[in-house]
Structure 1
Amino acid sequence: MTQTVWIARHANRLDFVNPDWFLTAERPYDPPLSEDGVEQAKQLAQRLKGEKIAHIFASPFLRTVQTAHQVAQLNLPIKLESGLSEWLNPHWMPAMPERLSMEALHEQFPQIDLSYTSRVVANYPETGEEAMKRSGEVARRLAAEFPEDILLVGHGASVLGATLGLIGGTAKTEVNAALCCLVKLVRDGEEWVMELNGDVSHLSQTEKVIRFN
């Protein structure tokens, strides 16, 4: 059996471009995409146009939903999957980050599939090891349950965890998790092969230093 799992990180976020946004934001730990981030997400969508993606799964954070939204213009629904969430690190966030409700997100992004229920739930607080484990677990579960080609849109930590959850390895395994990068994993039988490792060739602008928080 052959299957392709695409894994993308969200595009550039507003607080990376304007750190002062955080100081007055209503939901400071759920930033939207920046203006150039929206352009990156469009470039990602253009790169994936023509690929045989049957399902899109996205972390429920706004920046990942906005990134998935551009790809979903290919007439695919978006399934919000908690297991692809940001690393809920208590050193970054003093509490579970406030996010828009699924209903509020659906008003902005009608492609969201309200009938879908997360297969894995991310719980605050969690260690880096726990974040890697749950994103690896959700990648394996989704690949098994949805045997067609799928796209997972997550964060730096969940891109790394989901990738290693399928190909194996440890946190020391080199996986490029730059903004709006693309990982391509292909299964032939029981074997997973990484054909793209955090590819950013579809982007007109890329970051020089990879940031995770």
Structure 2
Amino acid sequence: MSSFDQNVLVMRHGDRMDNFVPTWVSTAERPWDPPLVDAGKSRAFKVGNEFRTQLGFPIHRVFVSPFLRCIQTASQVITAICSDDSLSFDPSKVKVSIEYGLCEMLSREAIRPEFAPKDGDFRFNISELEALLPAGTVDHSAERIYQEMPRWEETVLGSRSRYENVIQALADKYPRENLLLVTHGEGVGTSVSTFKKRAVVYEVNYCAYSHASRCITFGESGSSTAGSFQLLTVPGVTGIGYTIEETLADGV
């Protein structure tokens, strides 16, 4: 018998261009897919460096939404994780894959309809996006949980269910590895409410992340038994604000 404490981090992308340069969308070829501003890249690298030096455990795999702001965020985080204090880069430390199930909420609550592609096809060139990730880190053998992008226009509840499903599926698929999922604000918020009963999320800052952990026991026959995830995120510490909703059962 052996056991492993699996950690899953769910992180929001960095500062997006259209929120700092409002005129950007007027000339953008893909107005639904803004890049990061320089401050967003810096913030992502800083958080990645904190992962490398302060977590107390290694990140083995990174899964990332295909939206450009998430790809650029993941690239900065991975660069920091795979570097040492002398900035020597070792790509063998982390493997990264693009996962459609971590994409933005494809509804008017997240993307203004006039900016969404008219045919509902968000047209991601995966090869071009993988080329933006640090060389030697992309795992082309990893099979996606979601083989296709969700359809425009999905419901808010539908997107939250998608996030919950893909987070759990990825964790179950790699039970011996610690994971970082780079996604969007709604995905981070969903991870908190999934791992913590009655949690109500009211704020997810750029590059904010949640952290949950569970113990997995492995038998000699190859079987495994996973405990329930426990949310370790403290409100306000990693950029997420949330409260616990009280009920009549709590004596209110």
TM > 0.5 fold call: yes
Matching residue within 209, 214, 218 for 1:182 = 209
Q: CA deviation at 1:197?
A: 4.5
Which residue matches 2:223? none
Residue 73 (structure 2) pairs with residue 58 (structure 1): no
Which residue matches 2:129? 105
Q: Does the CA-based 8 Å contact 2:196-2:230 persist in structure 1? A: no
Q: What is the TM-score of this pair, normalised by structure 1?
A: 0.84
Residue 125 (structure 2) pairs with residue 125 (structure 1): no
Which residue matches 1:88? 106
Query: Following superposition of structure 1 onto structure 2, how do residues 1-213 of structure 1 map, counting pairs within 5 Å?
Result: 1-50=4-53, 51-73=57-79, 74=82, 75=91, 76-90=94-108, 92-93=112-113, 94-95=116-117, 96=120, 98-109=122-133, 110=135, 111-120=137-146, 121=148, 122-147=150-175, 148-165=177-194, 167=195, 169=197, 173-174=200-201, 176-188=203-215, 189-197=226-234
Letter aligned with residue 76 of structure 2: Q
Work out the CA distance in 1 between the residues paired with 2:125 and 2:139: 13
Unaligned runs of 5+ in 2: 83-90, 216-225, 240-252
Measured at CA, do residues 77 and 198 of structure 1 come closer, stay the same or move farther in structure 2, by a change above 3 Å? farther
Work out the CA distance in 2 between the residues paired with 1:44 and 1:97: 32
Q: CA deviation at 1:97?
A: 6.0
SS of structure 1 residue aligned to 2:200: coil
Work out the CA distance in 1 between the residues paired with 2:202 and 2:232: 12
- RMSD of aligned residue pairs (Cα, Å): 2.3
Work out the CA distance in 2 between the residues paired with 1:196 and 1:142: 20
Q: Which region of structure 1 is more displaced relative to structure 2, 101-110 or 33-42?
A: 101-110
Letter aligned with residue 212 of structure 2: L
Work out the CA distance in 2 between the residues paired with 1:99 and 1:198: 36
Work out the CA distance in 1 between the residues paired with 2:235 and 2:125: 30
Q: What is the TM-score of this pair, normalised by structure 2?
A: 0.72
Q: Which runs of 4+ in 1 moved over 6 A?
A: none
Unaligned runs of 5+ in 1: 207-213
Work out the CA distance in 2 between the residues paired with 1:43 and 1:133: 31
Letter aligned with residue 95 of structure 2: P
- Post-superposition Cα deviations, 1:10-67, rounded to whole Å, max 9, x if no partner, equal 0001111101101100111011001110111111111111441110000010110111
SS of structure 1 residue aligned to 2:61: strand
- Larger gyration radius, structure 1 or structure 2: 2
